[in-house]
Amino acid sequence: MPFRKHLLAAALGLVLLLGCVSAVHAENLTDTERNLVEAERNLAEHGLVLEDVVNEYYGLNAKSRGFVVSLPPYRSDGSPDFIFFDVTGDGCMDLCTQRVFGSGMTRVETVVFDPLAHERYILDGYNYFYFIKGISGGRLVVVECGPYGYGDPLTDTWGTVSLEDGRLAFVPDEVQPPVGRTGHSHTWFISAGDE
């Protein structure tokens, strides 16, 4: 547990340091760093603190029932395994990440945590995995992979997510990238853009 506290403190220090970066140096930030700086500012406008939002979300997962495995919020290099994007449309950036659910035949779910409402929205398609690929064109990019477990060929469908009637829904793009990618090419690691 002490290592996690040190890791969170280091990440918060990075965010605070990045918040002090002048506009002259802003173009030198990675997309992930830019996303954290923007999230910290946005959350502060709503009376929230980035570290508190991250801790609340990961604390909820620790209390989950069933076979839920969440990755730690930060990778071993200190970079986040989440991004912030306003999926709920309330003007406050939501924490967006992934987790593994199940036993035996597990699946990857996309999770959106609304820090204002303290609500988790989970995209789970039983025999489909949902990978967050980043932010592009002003939207959260998610790839649906599957079906798994039925002997059918795996396909990737690129799209985004939206909140519909209180549930997270996958919205496929009308135009898909060229065929040839499989679900196995996806990684857990989330990036805020094309770095």
pLDDT at 182 over 50: no
Residue 185 scores a pLDDT above 50: no
Q: How many C-beta atoms surround the C-beta of residue 119 within 10 A?
A: 14
Place of tokens 């919020």: 73
Q: Specify whether the CB–CB gap between 42 and 92 falls below 8 A.
A: yes
- For the segment 69-114, what is each residue's pLDDT rounded down to a tens digit? 666 677 778 788 899 999 999 999 999 998 877 776 777 889 999 9
What is the C-alpha separation between 176 and 128, in angstroms, rounded?
17
Supply the pLDDT for residue 63. 62
Q: Which residue has the higher pLDDT, 135 or 181?
A: 135
Q: Between these two residues, 8 and 122, which has the higher pLDDT value?
A: 122
Q: Residues 44-59: pLDDT tens digits?
A: 999 999 999 999 988 8
Contact call for residues 167 and 124 (beta carbons, < 8 A):
no
Higher pLDDT, 171 or 16: 171
Whether the model clears a pTM of 0.85, i.e. scores above it, the answer is no
